[in-house]
Amino acid sequence: MLQGAKISHRELAAQLIIRMVNVEKESFSGRLMKVLPALLYTITDMNEESTGKFVKLKSSAAPLGDDSSEHEKAKDHSLVQTLNAFTRIFEACPHVLSSVQHGDFIDELAYNLQSLMAHGHQWVRLAALKLLGLILNAIDFDTVHKILQAEECDVKQQYIYGNPRSDARSLVLDMCSQLVPAETEDDVASLVTQNLLLIANILKVIPLQSDATNLKHDDASKDVNLSWLIRRVRYVVQSEVAKAPKSIVLRKHMFQWMEALVDLLDESMVVSLAPSILSPVTRELSDQDHLDKAVKQIVIRLGNRVKSKIGSEKYDEIRLRMQTKILEKRSVRQRTVAVEKINNPVQAAKRKLAVKNRKKEAKKQKLETMRTIGKSTVKSSASTKVKRRRMEDLFQ
């Protein structure tokens, strides 16, 4: 059924496998040699019909006309069930992920999962992120660290082990592409955060270079280390600040990632990375007008973690330097706006109108939120009175 032509049969077979794993648990490992290749075939077969880099490939199996959308939905549902079956198998039989016998299978599955992060269906991307997290969590980090330090290791598995820098780089870029301001759900951001922390654990043995050197050679040499990784995370934070300042999903999870990263690293590494970490922290704390309470708590906690790791003196010195840079950038921006009012008054008027419209929209959203809260409060108070009357009637 898993390798059959009918997609509905594949979906039913995946659901049946999930039920069998739930019943048999660890004893299901005796069926793995037959089940795993069949499940993988479903994913690879779907991937061959997925969207290409520049054009959408035509599927010979897909019917023409109005039924094509239903066919795509059926494929998506089958793919989700297949990925859920993999997740359930790995949770019940975790030894598969580190078994030499299944090394080639894990390699092929991992690369297919990474390509599925570009899938159009959110459930597919979410399931792929979960599975990639399980695979990354099963990696022998000590062996990968030896490979990164140019030590010889006899490893047959290729994913991450074969070329850790290249695989980590592509994974980070694919993970960060999932984080779209005002569109990313909390569960997706949480999974990306966990996976990025596992990648950080891989990269922590790579020596750091200065920020200037990294910026100069980033596109040429593709140097991948923790400094590069933090810059990618900061791009995510900056994109949310610029495109969706009212949303806090990405900033909340990225600051939590930085907090966990500080706990993961030793003092010398944190001292080297402290300017990159404290720069967005200082920016958030300096913008009191748009600072959310939940984000403020996380940012303050992150700052305290860094301070306890590197000491108050170094922390205050680095933070003062970051504050000075932010104030300089703001003064330059203010001067640019002032000059624009004189040299290009039309553009300045458009900018002022855009700011005014954003404030109106924010005020409108705030009023709608307050009305919603007010209605729910009235309903809850009314229901409380009814319940109180019922309780009084019981004792009369």
Q: Which residue has the higher pLDDT, 364 or 88?
A: 88
User: What pLDDT was estimated at residue 393?
Assistant: 54
Residue 362 pLDDT greater than 60, yes or no: yes
**What percent of the chain shows pLDDT beyond 70?**
81
User: What pLDDT was estimated at residue 195?
Assistant: 96
Q: How confident is the model at residue 247 (pLDDT cuts 50, 70, 90)?
A: confident
Q: For the chain, give the mean pLDDT.
A: 82
Residues 323-350: pLDDT tens digits? 888 888 888 888 888 888 888 888 888 8
Helix/strand number for the chain, H first, E second: 15, 0
Residue 97 pLDDT greater than 60, yes or no: yes
Residues 160-184: pLDDT tens digits? 999 999 999 999 999 999 999 988 9
Q: Which residue has the higher pLDDT, 11 or 124?
A: 124
Cα 274 from Cα 286, distance rounded (Å): 18
Domain limits, the chain: 1-47+74-138, 150-206+222-326
**DSSP, residue by residue, 95-142:** GGGG-STTHHHHHHHHHHHHHHTT-S-HHHHHHHHHHHHHHHHTS-HH
Residue 26 pLDDT greater than 80, yes or no: yes
User: What pLDDT was estimated at residue 156?
Assistant: 84
Q: Which residue has the higher pLDDT, 58 or 157?
A: 157
Q: Which residue has the higher pLDDT, 43 or 259?
A: 259
CA distances from 56 to 48, 74, 113, 145 (A): 11, 18, 19, 39
**DSSP, residue by residue, 200-229:** HHHHTTSPP--HHHHHHHHHHH---SHHHH
Residue 50 pLDDT greater than 50, yes or no: no
User: What pLDDT was estimated at residue 386?
Assistant: 53
Cα 196 from Cα 156, distance rounded (Å): 24
Q: What is the mean pLDDT of residues 135-147?
A: 93
User: What pLDDT was estimated at residue 388?
Assistant: 52
User: What pLDDT was estimated at residue 52?
Assistant: 35
Cα 23 from Cα 312, distance rounded (Å): 55
User: What pLDDT was estimated at residue 361?
Assistant: 76
**Would residue 65 be called left, alpha or beta, if left means φ above 0 and alpha means ψ between -120 and 50 degrees?**
left
Q: Which residue has the higher pLDDT, 44 or 288?
A: 44
Is the pTM for the entire model greater than 0.85?
A: no
User: What pLDDT was estimated at residue 383?
Assistant: 53
User: What pLDDT was estimated at residue 44?
Assistant: 83
Q: How confident is the model at residue 146 (pLDDT cuts 50, 70, 90)?
A: very high
**What percent of the chain shows pLDDT beyond 90?**
45
Cα 391 from Cα 2, distance rounded (Å): 58
